[in-house]
Structures are given as structure tokens and as C-alpha cells.
Structure 1
Amino acid sequence: MRDFHLPGRSAVLATNGMCATSHPLAARAAVDILGRGGNAMDAAIAGAVLLGICEPQMTGIGGDCFVLYSPAGSKEVHALNGSGRAPAGLDAAKLREKGETTVPLRSADAVTIPTAIDAFCHLSESVGKLGLDALLAPAIHYAEAGVPVAPRVAFDWATDGGTLQGRARDHFLINGKTPRGGDIFRAPGQAEVLRRVAAQGRDAFYSGEIAEDMITTLQAAGGSHSAEDFAAARAEVTTPVSGHYKDLEVVEHPPNGQGATALLLMNILNHFDIAGMDPQGAERLHIEAEATKLAYDARNRFLADPDHTTRLDHMLAPETARALAALIDPKRAMAAAAPISEAVHKDTIYITVVDGDGMSVSLIYSIFHGFGSGLASDKFGILLQNRGAGFTLEEGHPNELKGGKRPMHTIIPGMIRENGRVTMPFGVMGGAYQPCGHARFASNLSDFGMDVQSAIDAPRAFADGHVMKVERGFGDDVRQTLSDLGHKVEIPATAIGGAQAIRIREDGVLEGASDPRKDGCALGY
């Protein structure tokens, strides 16, 4: 139990259904869908699409998603890959010929085909109950009527608004300026897109006037995108990967997501007595940072489009973690892993829903960097992701940019099983931080017995490339000790990530938790 003398928030308890996400309007929309008889998948889709209006710097219908879900009464976890492919006419050789060493972040070449809409349509038809028209209605309403810009959203908008280009500035600035907290943001063009998708399904987005709007914009910016690329966009059913951290089985999305990185990191940490360390101490942070460097180095070598990832079994093998753990010096920091690209980001949204029948959904949805590529379609204002910046231009690398391939993705939804029972959908936002965030969350629960909200609230640190980012929640003595161990320590300008989770207790009570680093909340009924 938290100390009620100190600032904080309590977990939210309910029995009929629960949503936890990063914006209250989206959480409310999801709970409303549950109250109307929708299931957890219906509610998650409705809330996720609305988040693209509430947090347009983070996500939107021009982006991608990954989904884990467990049907009511089932111990199984299913996965859907809603990530897009590079246009068929693009490959790394063309960019190398131009003198590029990485995919330019704010270029049409960074735009992969947005596939979240296909994923939502597929899940609505195959898993949901209410139909797309009901699920998209909240987002259509708020896109037209407007959403007051929340405080964290305003902070991010001011930070990233300068990346908006051309017509995107008309769609995402107000009178030429980034909105302040409380200003009303409207997206009437996106409302029209969603109306057409609600009436006609995924083909309304991937063909006809809407697709032509995106293609024309991209081609004008030098892109090689074609009508055939958009028509071919498809989400794909896949099989999760999982591993154990102490008493918890953590289920992750497979490549091209980086869920395997989280599992390798936890496998390495299993070789250390983390529970015997101070949860807020330098010793724990150092071991976690060193394990992170090793796990991310493996990620950068091996993870790619699933058709090109060949070393996944090696990455998850117990002997791999044992050998890597042996490389960690408790008294000295090692060099950072070589980056897969220079595309560092922290922008995404996460939503989790559990319904009264026990279906649970873990859904993550993103346009990659703040405002994605900075390009938006001229007519409808669809902001286009820059997921292609997750490719490498290194010749022969599994993650080398090629037409039709999916890049390595940083976004990863999570699920926890205990004794074979699904007990917690969870997610930790924050770009590259996410595998580290999953491992720290599992460790907070298992090693230190924290409740779900406390595990999210606890301060964070992240070995991000050559810098050890340490939130202000840690003491100066901790930062000094880390510096003495050889880490280059900085206090990040922005809090590290964000998280949501819902614990499904054996008595049927749902315990929802949401990160105070964001504007959101958990809501139940």
C-alpha cells in the first residue's frame, strides 16, 4: 500500500470491465463501449483510434500497431502484426547511392505503408462484436467537435511541432502555432476518413480517394509509393514468444517487434540476485544497464522482418543469456552497443482493456517519432509515420531496407501469465526503452513485491546508447555512484516512457494502473 502522506495515485478497482491508457477521453470511450455490450477488443479499438485525435504527436491512422489478446476463458495469447512494409520500389542501395548512411527521418523514404487500419478492421470483424461504425464513432465525434489539448500532449507538441512540413502545418498547428494546454484541436479531414472506413471497411482507406491523397503527397515529396503498395497492405496473424522472469511468464510479440529483446534482457537478469539489491540503488541500476547494453546489441544484430530474422532461437536460448551475463562486471560499465540506426524516439501510445468475461487486450499503436515523418496528406490530413527509419542501410544486414520488407519495430505490447493463467496485459511506452521497461516492470513486481501502480510509478533509468539517463526520482548519490562506475549520467529532459497495466485477480476484481508521466488514467465500472 502506498504512503498516503506522499503524492501518488491509487489503483482503480472494478469488476465489469477496465481500460487503462494515456488519455482520459480514450479510456472513457473504451469503457462506454464495454457498457454497450462490446468486448475488450471492441473497446481497445475504439480507444486506440480516438488516441490518434487526443495525442496526434504520438499516433494516428497513418501508423502501425501490434496486438496481443487472450479470449475470454482462455489461457492462450494470440498476436496480430499490424506493421507496414516499405514501398516495393525502394531499397537501401538507392539511398546509399545518394550518400545516405541512415534513412532520413523526415523524408518520404522513411514512410512505410500504414497498416493499423487494416489491423483494426480485421480484429473488429474476427474478434469484436459491435462493428466498425460503433467503434469509430467516438473518434469521428471528437475529430469534428475537437479535443482540449492535455498538458503532456502540449509539452510534446511544442517539442516536436517544428518537424511538421508543408500542409501538415495547416492540419496540426493552430493559426501557425503549436497549441497550448486547453486549446481545442480538430481534425475534420480524419473524421471524414473514419466515416468512410466505418461505412466501407478497410478498402476505403487503401484504395480510392483516401489512398490517392496519401500517394500523391508522398510522391510529391520524392517517395516511390504506389497504389499497389497500399492495396497490398495486410496485418498478419502470428505466434507470440515468451519467457520466464522468476515466477512470471512474460509473453511478447515476435519480430519484427523487439519483444525478444525484453525476454533476453530478463534472461540475463535472472542470473543476478536483483531481489537482494536496493530497488532504488545504484547496484541494481548498473546491472540492469549492463544487461540492457548486451540485450540491445543482440537486437541490433538479429531482429528484422520475421522473414529475415534467423537467429531468434539463439537469442532466446538459456546458454546465450548465461554467456552474456558472465560478461557483466559489477564494478565497471562497458561500452554501449552499436546502434542499428540513429533513429532514437520516445513516441507511442498504449491501451489495455479487460472485459467482464475475462477477454484481455494489449495494444500498442504508433507513428514512430514525434509527428512521424512530419508529412501529412494534403486533403485529409493523415499524418504519415516514419517507421522506415527503423531500417538499417548496412548492406547484407537482416534489417537492411528492401522493398516489401517490414523494419525492426520498437513498439511491443506485453502479457503476463502466472501458473498458466493470463493475469496482466501491460505495456511500457518510450521507444527504445520499452524492453528495458518491460524487464524493470516485471522485476518490480517479482523481486520487490510492488503492486501494479507502484511498479509503474517507481523511478526509471535507461542505458540509452552512450548515455545513462536517470530520472530525478533517484538521489544524487545514486547518480554519483553510477558515474564512478563509468556511466555517463544525465537527467533526461522528458520523463522516461509511460505505462499501463490491468491485473486480473483470481477473485475477478480488476486492478488498473496508469502512469503519472502521461495524462491518462485507468477507468472501470
Structure 2
Amino acid sequence: MRDFHLPGRSQVLATEGMCATSHPLAAATAIDILKRGGNAMDAAIAGAVLLGICEPQMTGIGGDCFVLYTRPGEQEIRALNGSGRAPAAASAAALRAEGLDTVPVHSAHAVTVPGAIDAFCHLSETEGRLGLDALLAPTIHYAEAGVPVAPRVAFDWANDAATLQGVARESYLADGEVPRVGHLFRSPGQAEVLRRIAKDGRDAFYTGEVAEDMLAALHAAGGVHTAEDFAATACTPTDPVSGSYKGIDLVEHAPNGQGATAILMLNILAQFDIAGMDPWGAERAHIEVEAAKLAYDARNRFLADPDHTARLDHMLSPETAAKLAALIDPKKAMTAPAKLSEAVHKDTIYITVVDRDRMAVSLIYSIFHGFGSGIASEKFGVLFQNRGAGFTLQEGHPNELGGGKRPMHTIIPGMLREDGRVTVPFGVMGGAYQPHGHARFVSNLRDFGMELQDAIDAPRLFGESGRLDVERGYSPDVRQALADKGHRVEIRETAIGGAQAIRIGAEGTLEGASDPRKDGCALGY
């Protein structure tokens, strides 16, 4: 139990339904959908789409999603890949011929076709109850009436506003200025797009006037996208991957997501007595960071489009983890693996919902970098993701940019399963940090017996680009001990990631937890 003398938040308890996400309006909308007879999928879609207006720097209808979910009365975890593909004419060789060694992050070359809308339409039809018109109505209302800019949103908006280009500045700035806390952000163009989708389904987005508006913006920016690329977009049901850590199964979305990285990292940590270490001491932190280096190096070598991913079984093998663990020196930091083959980011939203029938949904939805590519369509203000920056231009690499391919994705929804029963749908935002965050969350629960909210609140650290970012929750003594082991320790201005989770109790109680690093909350009824 937390110390009630200190600032913090308690987990939320309920029985009928629960939502945890990064903005209160989205959480409230999800609960309202449940009270109106919708199921967890209805609620998750309604809340996720609204987050594109509440947190437009993080996500939107120009982005992608991945979903894990169960059906009422079932424990089977299903997965849906809602990530878009590179246009058919995309070519790594052409970019290499221009002298490029990476995909330009804020260019039309980085724009893959948005996949989330197709996924939401598919899931509404196959798994939902209420229909798209009911699910999109809250976002249509708020896009027209306006949403007050929340504190964390304003912080991120200021950091990322320079990304916005051309007409995107008209749609996402207030008279050329970064919106302040409390400013009403409106997007009437997106409201009209959603109104058309509610009436005519996914074709209203991927064909016709909306698609023409998007294509015009991409062509003006030098893109090679075609109407056929948009019309052919289709989400893909797939099988998740999983691994066991001390009696708990971590279930992740399969590639092109990076969920297998979290499983490998936990398999490496299982070779050490993590539970015998100080949870906030230098010893645990060092082992965890070194394990992440090795797991991420494997990710960069193997993960890609599902049709091109190599050696996934090898990556998930406990034997592989044991060999990698032997490379870790408890007293000395290793040289970081090769530079990441994709451009890392910190901008994503996550929502999880469980309903009275215990249908559970774990949904993550993103435009990649803050404000994505920075390119928006002129008429409707659709802001494009830059997921194509997740490709490499290295010739022959599984994740090499190519026509019709899906890039390696950083966004990963998660679920935990114990004794065959799904117990915790959860997600950890934060771009490349996500696998590390998943592994730490599981370790916090399993090795140290933390409550759900405590496991989320706990201080974080993450190694990238040759440095070790640590939050202020780590003491100066621990930071010095890590530096003595050879880590280049820095405290960054931005907190590391964000997380949301729901525990499904065996006796009928739902427990929700939401990260104070974001503006959101857990709500139940």
C-alpha cells in the first residue's frame, strides 16, 4: 500500500467495466460507451479515436494501430495488425542513389499509408456492438466544439511544433503560436472525415474526396503514393507471440511490432537473481540496461515486415537468452550495439478497456514522432505519420524500405496471462523504450510484488544513443554507481514513457492504474 503522507494516486477499483488511458475525456468516453451497452472493443475504439483530438501530437487518423484482445468468455488472445504499408513505388535504392543513408524523418518518403482507420472499421464490424456512428460521435463533437489543451499535451506540443510544415501549421497552431494549457483545440476538417466514415465506412477514408486530399498533399511533398495504395490498405489478423517469466506469460503482438524484444529481454533477466536485488539500486539497473542492449541489438537485426522477419524463433528461444546473458559483466557497461536502424521516438497513445463480460482490449495507436511527418492534407487537416522512418536503407536487411512492406514498428500492446487466464492488459508508451518498459513492468510485479499502480509509478531508466537516461526518482548515489560502471548518465527534461494497465481479479474486481507522467486516469463503474 502506498504511503498516504506522500503525493501519489491509488489504483481504481470497480466491477462492471474499466478504462485506463492518457486523457480523462477519452477515459470518460470509453466508460460512457460501456454504460450504453457497448463492449470493450467499442469503448476502446471510441476512446482511441478521441485521443487523436485530445493528444494530436501523439496520434490521429493518419496513423497506425496494433490491438490485442479477448472475446467474452474466452481466454484466447487475438491480435490485429493495423499498420500501413509503404507505397508500391517506394524504393530504398532510389533514396540511396540520392545520397541518403536513412529515410528522411519529415518527408513524404517516411509516410506509410495510414492503417488505423481500416483496423477500427474492421474491429467495429467484427467485434463491436454499437456501430461506427455511435463510436465516432464523441470525437466528432469534440473536434468541432474543441478540447482544452492539457498540461502534458501542451509540454509536448511546444517540443514538437517545429515539425509542422505548410498547412499543418494552420491546422495545429493557434494563430501561428503553440497552444497554451487550456486553449481549445478544434479540428472541423477531421470531424467531417469522421462523419463520412461513420456513414460510409472505411471507403470514405481510403477512396474518394478524402483520399484525394491526402494524395494531393503527399504528391506536393514529393511522395510516390497512389490511389491504389490507399484503396488496397487492409488490416491483418495475426497470432501473438509469448514468453514465460517466473510463472507469468507475457503476450505480445508479433512482428512487425517489436514485442519479441520484451520477451527476449525478460528471458535474459531470468538468468539473474533480480528479486534478490534492491529494486531501485544500481545492480538491478545495470543488469537491466545491459539486457536491453542485447535484446535491442537482436531486434535491429531480425524484426521487420512479417513476410521478411528472420529468425524469430531464435530470438524467442531461452537458449539464445542464456548465451546473451553470459556476455553481461555485472561490474562494467558494454559498448552499445550498433546504432538503431530506425528513428526512435517518444509519441504514442495507449488505451485498455475491460467490460462486464471480461472482454479485454489492449490497443496502441500512433503517428510515430511528435506530429508525425509534419505534413497534413489541405482540406481536411489529416496529419500523416512518418512510420516509414522505421525502415532502414541498408541493402539486403530484412527491414529495408520496399514497396508494399510494413516497417518495423515500435508500438506494442501487451497482455499478461497466469495459469491460462488473462489477468492484465497493459501498455507502456515511449517509442523505443516500450520493450524495456514491458520487461520492467513485469519484473516489478513478479520480482518485487508491487501493486499495479506502484509498478507504473516506479522510476525508470533507458539506454539509447550511447547515454543512459534516468529519471529523478533514482538517487544521486545510484546515478554515481552507474557512472562508475561506465554508463554515461543523464537526467532528461522529459519523463520516460507512460503506462496504463487493468488487472482482472479472479473474484470479479477490476483494478485500474494510470501513469502520472501523462494527463490521464483510470476510470471504472
TM-score range, shorter chain: over 0.9
Residue 21 (structure 1) aligns with: 21
Residue 87 (structure 1) aligns with: 87
1:382-420 CA-to-partner distances (Å, cap 9, x unmatched) read 000000000000000000000100000000000000110
1:342-370 CA-to-partner distances (Å, cap 9, x unmatched) read 51210000000000010000000000000
CA contact (8 A) 2:469 2:490 kept: yes
**Gaps (5+ residues) in structure 1?**
none
CA contact (8 A) 1:341 1:389 kept: no
Q: Secondary structure at the match of 1:124?
A: helix
Residue 165 (structure 1) aligns with: 165
Matched, 1:252 2:234: no
**AA in 2 matched with 1:469:** D
What is the 5 A alignment of 1:217-236? 217-236=217-236
Q: Secondary structure at the match of 1:447?
A: helix
Residue 388 (structure 1) aligns with: 388
Residue 189 (structure 2) aligns with: 189
**AA in 1 matched with 2:273:** D
Q: Secondary structure at the match of 1:58?
A: coil
Residue 364 (structure 1) aligns with: 364
**AA in 1 matched with 2:411:** I
Distance 2:239 2:342 in 1: 29
Matched, 1:379 2:356: no
Residue 133 (structure 1) aligns with: 133
1:281-326 CA-to-partner distances (Å, cap 9, x unmatched) read 0000000000000000000000000000121001001110000000
**AA in 2 matched with 1:8:** G
Distance 2:129 2:227 in 1: 31
**AA in 2 matched with 1:76:** E
Residue 99 (structure 1) aligns with: 99
Q: Secondary structure at the match of 1:27?
A: helix
Q: Secondary structure at the match of 2:398?
A: coil
What is the 5 A alignment of 1:65-76? 65-76=65-76
Distance 2:133 2:285 in 1: 47
Distance 1:427 1:58 in 2: 15
Residue 421 (structure 2) aligns with: 421
CA contact (8 A) 1:253 1:259 kept: yes
Residue 445 (structure 2) aligns with: 445
Deviation at 1:465, TM superposition (A): 2.9
Deviation at 1:463, TM superposition (A): 1.2
CA contact (8 A) 2:342 2:391 kept: no
1:30-66 CA-to-partner distances (Å, cap 9, x unmatched) read 0000000000000000000000000000000000000
Deviation at 1:492, TM superposition (A): 1.4
Deviation at 1:91, TM superposition (A): 1.0
**AA in 1 matched with 2:120:** F
Q: Secondary structure at the match of 1:469?
A: strand
Residue 7 (structure 2) aligns with: 7
Distance 1:342 1:492 in 2: 21
Distance 2:492 2:300 in 1: 23
The worse-fitting range, judged by mean Cα deviation, of 335-344 and 401-410 is 335-344
Residue 492 (structure 1) aligns with: 492
CA contact (8 A) 1:170 1:176 kept: yes
Matched, 1:30 2:18: no
Matched, 1:352 2:357: no
CA contact (8 A) 2:342 2:392 kept: no
Deviation at 1:341, TM superposition (A): 2.9
Distance 1:273 1:282 in 2: 14
CA contact (8 A) 2:42 2:135 kept: yes
Residue 397 (structure 1) aligns with: 397
CA contact (8 A) 1:340 1:392 kept: no
Deviation at 1:95, TM superposition (A): 0.5
Residue 62 (structure 1) aligns with: 62
CA contact (8 A) 1:426 1:500 kept: yes
Distance 1:72 1:282 in 2: 43
TM-score (norm 2): 1.00
Matched, 1:204 2:199: no
Residue 149 (structure 1) aligns with: 149
Distance 1:245 1:496 in 2: 24
CA contact (8 A) 1:332 1:486 kept: yes
Q: How many residues align?
A: 525
Residue 43 (structure 1) aligns with: 43
Distance 1:88 1:248 in 2: 41
Residue 77 (structure 1) aligns with: 77
Deviation at 1:96, TM superposition (A): 0.3
Q: Secondary structure at the match of 2:298?
A: helix
Distance 1:245 1:369 in 2: 32
CA contact (8 A) 1:337 1:465 kept: no
CA contact (8 A) 1:345 1:431 kept: yes
1:111-147 CA-to-partner distances (Å, cap 9, x unmatched) read 0000100000000000000000000001000000000
Distance 1:339 1:304 in 2: 16
Distance 2:7 2:75 in 1: 37
Distance 2:100 2:343 in 1: 14
Distance 2:73 2:491 in 1: 44
CA contact (8 A) 1:68 1:79 kept: yes
**AA in 2 matched with 1:187:** S
Residue 270 (structure 2) aligns with: 270
**AA in 1 matched with 2:329:** D
What is the 5 A alignment of 1:306-345? 306-341=306-341, 343-345=343-345
TM-score (norm 1): 1.00
Distance 1:469 1:438 in 2: 17
Report sequence identity in percent. Answer: 76
**AA in 1 matched with 2:111:** V
**AA in 2 matched with 1:49:** V
Residue 283 (structure 1) aligns with: 283
Distance 2:84 2:262 in 1: 22
Distance 2:435 2:325 in 1: 17
Distance 1:24 1:372 in 2: 23
**AA in 1 matched with 2:471:** E
**AA in 2 matched with 1:45:** I
Distance 1:461 1:48 in 2: 27
1:215-265 CA-to-partner distances (Å, cap 9, x unmatched) read 000000000000000001000000000001112101000000000000000
Distance 1:506 1:524 in 2: 17
